[in-house]
Amino acid sequence: MTIKRTHKSHQKKWLKENSHLKILDLGCTHVNYWKEANHFADIVDYSNEFKEKNLKFTLLSPNKKLPFKDKEFDYVILSHVLEHVDDIQEFSKEIERISNAGYIELPTKLADNLTIGCDEEDIGHKWWLRFDDVDKKLEFVKKVDVLQKFISVGTLNKFQEYFEDSLIIQLYWENSIDLIKGKPIAFDKKINFSSLIRKYIGKKIRDNFARLRNFIK
């Protein structure tokens, strides 16, 4: 039973070296899918796109058991998937049922709170997840919007080049995902970024005036 931090580049390198394995990219989309995989699946029908590339695609039905046999795959890729599913515990059990290992990528709480476009009805983010490095468990809680969002997904992706550890969680699991439910987050009022910026600018102006007065004296 293992779940630990990893890096996407390390996992991709390992998969390339073990291309004989049966590898599923679940929640693949038709744009950012892993080329290291040899099977693809999504709740959106991308069958035509993958057929043109001679790749195997399976259309999934939301909130239903996955249409795969027990341990059908050696490795499953879940890149920005878990935060979307309704029943995260049942879904994780299904992933464990169809595979022995895999890669999980998730947004951090900070990334989730900064980014516009994560709240679409039905397919938006439903959970906050964090990795407990002490107990080696993946903790989930109901998502809460603490900040007024102001960054697009495209901008966030550019930020990841410099602040990757602050914006995404990258995990490797084997035998079990080891998911636990965390305590609900108490929250009163959303933080307004424009208000914070105004306060910051106001303080800077006051500080500069104070320095100017001292200089004149």
Give the CA distances from residue 60 to residues 37, 43, 89, 95, 143, in Å, rounded to whole numbers and listed in that order.
17, 5, 18, 13, 24
**Token pair in block for residue 129:** 């997840």
Cβ contact 88:117 at 8 Å: no
Q: How far apart are CA 30 and CA 53, in angstroms?
A: 11
**pLDDT (tens digit per residue) in 59-95:** 999 888 999 999 999 999 999 999 999 999 999 999 9
Mean pLDDT taken over the chain: 87
Q: How high is the pLDDT of residue 71? A: 97
Three-class SS of residue 212?
helix
**pLDDT (tens digit per residue) in 110-150:** 888 887 665 655 668 899 999 999 999 999 999 887 877 77
Domains of the chain are 2-189 (3.40.50)
Chain centroid offset of residue 184 CA: 19
Q: How high is the pLDDT of residue 156? A: 80
**pLDDT (tens digit per residue) in 6-53:** 999 999 999 999 999 999 999 999 888 999 999 999 999 999 999 999
Cβ contact 58:52 at 8 Å: no
**pLDDT (tens digit per residue) in 155-201:** 888 888 888 999 999 999 999 999 999 988 776 666 666 666 666 56
